[in-house]
Amino acid sequence: MANNMSSRQACHAARYVVARVLRGLFWCLKYTVILPLATMALMALFVLWKDNTTPGQLLVQEIDFVRQTAPAGQFPVRECLPSLHDLPGAEEKICRYRAADAADYVRETDRSLMQLVTALWATLALMYVSLAVISGKYPVLPEK
């Protein structure tokens, strides 16, 4: 009988640990992935709605920019070089567009978009996690 009780207690303890781990994982998933992505989607919708812009219009604007900036068969890629001034601590970047092939254009566009999305996502995740911790909305041990 005592052996049965100890196995029950072990089972309850194991379930408790699994539940705690799952609760913590779901909390992390909610505040670091779901809420920041939902906020980013809403921000994109509001920006497009505010400017009365559609994704198709943005695509046409980009195509027109490429046609005006680069020769036929080439694509403009932004290239920034640091320019050091005589003043200490003063650094200014000089940016220009250079003509590149399609693969370089795609690579540069993907890189810049990923930097922007990653920075926004990290900022929103940090904000949501901070607000959750400050407001006490995090998984805690139940008091016994």
pLDDT in tens, 65-114: 888 888 888 888 888 877 666 556 556 677 888 888 888 888 988 999 99
68-79 burial, b if ≥16 CB within 10 A, otherwise e? eebeeebbbbee
pLDDT bracket for residue 26 (50, 70, 90): very high
Q: Looking at the domain assignment, is residue 2 inside a domain?
A: no
Output the six-digit token pair for 114: 């990923």
User: In this predicted structure, what is the pLDDT of residue 2?
Assistant: 56
User: Range of 129's domain?
Assistant: 24-70+102-135
Q: Is residue 78 part of a domain?
A: no
**Number of independent structural domains in the chain:** 1
Determine, yes or no, domain membership for 59: yes
Classify 104 as helix, strand or coil: helix
34 lies in a domain?
yes
CB 32 within 8 A of CB 128: yes
Radius of gyration of the chain (CA): 26
The amino acid at residue 28 is C
The reply to whether 89 falls in a domain is no
